[in-house]
Amino acid sequence: MNTDNKTLPTGELHNLGQSLWLDNITRKLLTSGTLKRYIGELSVTGLTSNPTIFDHAISKSDYYDTAIRSLHDAGTTSPEAIFFNLAIDDLQHAADLFRPVHEQTRGVDGFVSLEVSPLLAYDTANTLAAAKELFHRAGRPNLFIKIPGTNEGLPAIEEAIFSGIPVNVTLLFSPEQYLAAADAYTRGILRRIAAKLDPRVASVASVFISRWDKAIMGKVPDSLRNKLGVAVAYKTYKAYRDLVSSERWNKLIAAGAMPQRLLWASTGTKDPAAPDTFYITALAAPDTVNTMPEETLLAFADHGKVGPVMNTDVTAAEAILQQTAQAGFTVDKLGAQLQKEGAESFVKSWNDLLAVVGRKSSELAATAS
């Protein structure tokens, strides 16, 4: 692979104005120098994490064993407490690697993300309390707290932003869900301005793409295969562009605020028949973020092509949405279903993760005794 990052497809996307974030974190990735290499060679400028990622990282290696044993010996036996200690250590390390990017971009880029417990997806008060506690424990300005964009999560997002906590709004699927999250962010910024606080608090709104296509695969005509996710993305991108160019946001920018950036999530290809870089090529857009699995990042760096730059013409997207509706799937209904299923999936991953941590902690304690 040519490692001149200016000539790689990843470098082309970066130069287009799209931030490439890695949707993965492991202690090996950090300690081996691999993440540092991705930053230098593949134009990676941020990172996201979730319970599934940590579950795989902890269960499939012994990189965390020493830390787990030490925490247990020191009296930290709760699997959740052990996990957050491990996760914060990893994300502090990653945040420090991205700190130069964060400073060079004046806080626009160079972020890592840590998720509150998925068990709190429908609990406003405890989501906010957890967000505050985790952000202050981590002690890094370039750490996003991930809060789901559920109806109950929206007030927590507003309050977190008002409190000065950078937020990655997760579990967004439809343009309507995106706009609701963007409005919560905007309300938090407006309240900061009214309170004479610094309005420059960062946020991204993470819209999941590939799950749309997976949800209807085999249930619609072949002519619609792998079309819905990109169509929804185009509709969301237009809503994003309209919002950030609105008179309301022009006034907020003049007051020192920065718009919440749109982030494409779930961009690994789910269909074995589709190119492994399908969504990366289709979602090339300035002033957005694309967070991708490690194998997708490497595939795109190796043989990816930067597609036509996204625009706000949604004529083709509207046609796809109409055909999909005729096949029995409307964006509103399916978007709500995907958000609900996504929250349930995160809970399952969370429970699996805590089971792994608890089992490892018990086994390591027994070995030491």
Considering the four listed CATH numbers 2.30.42.10, 3.10.450.50, 3.20.20.70, 3.40.50.920, the one that applies to the domain covering 9-364 is 3.20.20.70
**Cα 358 to Cα 28, 54, 72, 83, 272, distances in angstroms:** 21, 14, 10, 9, 35
In whole angstroms, what is the distance from residue 169 CA to residue 291 CA? 13
CB 285 within 8 A of CB 310: yes
In whole angstroms, what is the distance from residue 271 CA to residue 286 CA? 26
DSSP string, 68-81: HHHHHHTT---HHH
What local confidence, expressed as pLDDT, does residue 5 receive? 58
pLDDT digits (tens, 9 = 90+) for 194-208: 999 999 999 999 999
Residue 1's pLDDT band, with cuts at 50, 70 and 90, is: very low
CB 38 within 8 A of CB 67: no
In whole angstroms, what is the distance from residue 323 CA to residue 263 CA? 26
Q: What is the pTM of this model?
A: 0.96
CB 186 within 8 A of CB 154: no
Active-site residue list = 146
pLDDT digits (tens, 9 = 90+) for 47-68: 999 999 999 999 989 999 999 9
Residue 2 has pLDDT above 60, yes or no: no
CB 312 within 8 A of CB 237: yes
Domain extents in the chain: 9-364
